[in-house]
Amino acid sequence: SLVYDILYRPKELENVPMWDQIGEYVKIRRRTRKRRRTAAPENLENSDTESESDVISVSDSSELLFLPIHPQYTTHALRKRKIRHIPVLCGWPIPRRDLADQNDKYSVSVLSLFQPWARSLTDPLKQDNVSWNDALAQLLSRLPPHHLEVIDHMQEQWECKLAADDFS
């Protein structure tokens, strides 16, 4: 699942936020090769079946391996895309940042996309003693301009919908 891919991402991507991981890397099936059998012919009664020990994952220098705790550690890896993709968000839209009752939801959404996740299932986005709004403010102060531009475009989507409603 995507959550495992983010939490147990390769060490090389430890400081990469989900937005960049999805846009710049693609999950691939690792190449495998068959191991040569050295057993005597009489021990090969079921020689037409392969066991897991007969297949070895072959690591390519362009593959980034998930952490061993990842459920697909032996079968999948990440590879950098030749051309960066823009992630398409499915499901619920990013909440509006200009509505006070949506502040926490907005903060969680932006942090989820642009804050590198810690390797903790309990709270991978912020420390316990920090509010969601404060965690977002800390993040926004250190984000590169292209991420801030993406975040602004998410708000512009709402503004366009409101403007369209005003003219209909």
Query: pLDDT, tens digit, for every residue of 94-125?
Result: 898 888 889 999 999 999 999 998 876 666 78
- What is the reported pTM? 0.76
> Rounded distance, CA 63 to CA 26, Å?
10
Classify residue 105 as exposed, middle or buried by CB count within 10 Å of its CB (0-12, 13-18, 19+).
Answer: middle
Q: Which two tokens stand for residue 55?
A: 């297949």
Give the tens place of pLDDT for each residue, 31-73: 876 555 555 545 444 444 444 444 444 456 789 999 999 999 9
